[in-house]
Amino acid sequence: MAARTPDDRQVDVDVAVVGGGAAGLLAATFAARGGASVALLESAPRPGAKIRVSGGGRCNVLPSRMSLEDFHTHGSVPAMRNVLTGWSLADVRDHFERHLRVPLKVESTGKVFPASDSSRDVVGALLTDLARSGAALEAGARVLAIRPEASTFTLSIRGRADLRASRVVLATGGRSLPKTGSDGAGYKFAAEFGHTIVPTYPALVPLTTVDAGWTSLAGLAVPATLDVRVRDKRVARHRGDFLFTHQGFSGPVALDVSRWFTDPETSADARLFAGWGEPGTDP
């Protein structure tokens, strides 16, 4: 679909997908492949911005294994289970390798990356598949409002004509990286539709400390086992690479436990215990 100016005639579609990240690209592609007319609206000049920077620019596509215990939700556990099992890891990997023609590899961390180590290959494959499906991509299309009507939705788009759709898919992501488009805009739309919004907080982030005894070790990386205890009960144990920084602690294992220290429900009572060395070294 060509870009439209405010003077152009309104265009109707079966499905409007708001957000051009991985979820939005796949949702638009599958909807179009199923026979729907689809418009994918992405606020950034080009879609897939967060994909491009993920995994240090290499794009960790998938985990090699997945368990319900690896995930946390403040909502419905059965709903989360349905999401995680609705499209199995094996089927997703098959989709990437056989359909999208993106060879994948499993690293020692259990993460699955493109064999090329390039996130651009992943974005390129998703965009090629989107184009083949017949879905229309509109980049630079910032959705300002979504108005539900009798049997349709009218989307107001900055600098463009309104778009009317029978269905709307919100694939706007969270608010983890605003410069990529993950700025939390979708929460406003969801709230206006009557959905309950769970307050957000940072997760998978480095930990900070004011203890100079630790920050003096900045740059040192060691294998570690980290235990998190809340009110004297161990709630998490993770093993992996640990990095001392000028502000505190980072590395995959520190990021894995970080949510216990940012979640308002546990942060005040959370305590971190570390065991240094290879797996088997308990804190």
Residue 210 backbone phi and psi in degrees, to 5: -100, 5
Q: Count CB-CB contacts under 10 A for residue 75.
A: 9
Q: How far is CA 135 from the centre of its chain?
A: 22
Token code pair at residue 131: 């184009």
Q: What pLDDT, on the 0 to 100 scale, is given for residue 2?
A: 34
For residue 162, what is the DSSP state?
-
Number of H helices and number of E strands within the chain?
9, 14
Q: What pLDDT, on the 0 to 100 scale, is given for residue 1?
A: 36
User: For strand 248-250 and strand 233-244, is the pairing parallel, antiparallel, or unpaired?
Assistant: antiparallel
User: For strand 221-230 and strand 207-208, is the pairing parallel, antiparallel, or unpaired?
Assistant: unpaired
The DSSP bridge partners found for residue 137 are 40
* Stated pTM of the model: 0.84
For residue 23, what is the DSSP state?
H
Which amino acid would we find at residue 183? D
Match 């065991």 to its residue by tokens.
Answer: 275
Q: What pLDDT, on the 0 to 100 scale, is given for residue 281?
A: 63
Spell out the per-residue pLDDT of the chain, length 283, in tens.
333 333 344 558 999 999 999 999 999 999 999 999 999 999 999 999 999 999 889 999 999 998 888 787 878 889 989 988 899 999 999 999 999 999 999 998 889 999 999 999 999 999 999 999 999 999 999 999 999 988 899 999 999 999 999 999 999 998 888 888 888 889 999 999 999 998 888 888 999 998 888 888 999 999 999 999 999 999 999 999 999 999 999 999 999 999 999 999 999 999 999 999 876 567 7
* DSSP letters spanning 200-217: P---S--EE---HHHHTT
User: For strand 136-139 and strand 38-42, is the pairing parallel, antiparallel, or unpaired?
Assistant: parallel
Do residues 205 and 256 make contact, with C-beta atoms less than 8 angstroms apart?
Answer: no
Token code pair at residue 179: 């410069």
For CATH 3.50.50.60, list the domain ranges present in the chain: 11-59+118-192
Match 């990386």 to its residue by tokens.
Answer: 221
CA 195 – CA 250 distance, rounded (Å): 35
Token code pair at residue 69: 């215990």
CATH classification code of 11-59+118-192: 3.50.50.60
User: For strand 62-63 and strand 221-230, is the pairing parallel, antiparallel, or unpaired?
Assistant: unpaired
- Record: fold of 207-276: Elongation Factor Tu (Ef-tu); domain 3 (2.40.30)
For CATH 2.40.30, list the domain ranges present in the chain: 207-276
Do residues 258 and 250 make contact, with C-beta atoms less than 8 angstroms apart?
Answer: no
Secondary-structure percent of the chain, ordered helix, strand, coil, rounded to 5 = 30, 30, 40
- Listed in sequence order, the residues at least 6 apart from 249 whose beta carbon sits closer than 8 Å to its beta carbon are 206, 207, 209, 214, 242, 243
Q: Count CB-CB contacts under 10 A for residue 185.
A: 19
For residue 65, what is the DSSP state?
-
Distances (CA, A) of 244 to 202, 227, 279, 282: 20, 17, 18, 19
3-state SS, residue 85: helix
Q: What pLDDT, on the 0 to 100 scale, is given for residue 182?
A: 83
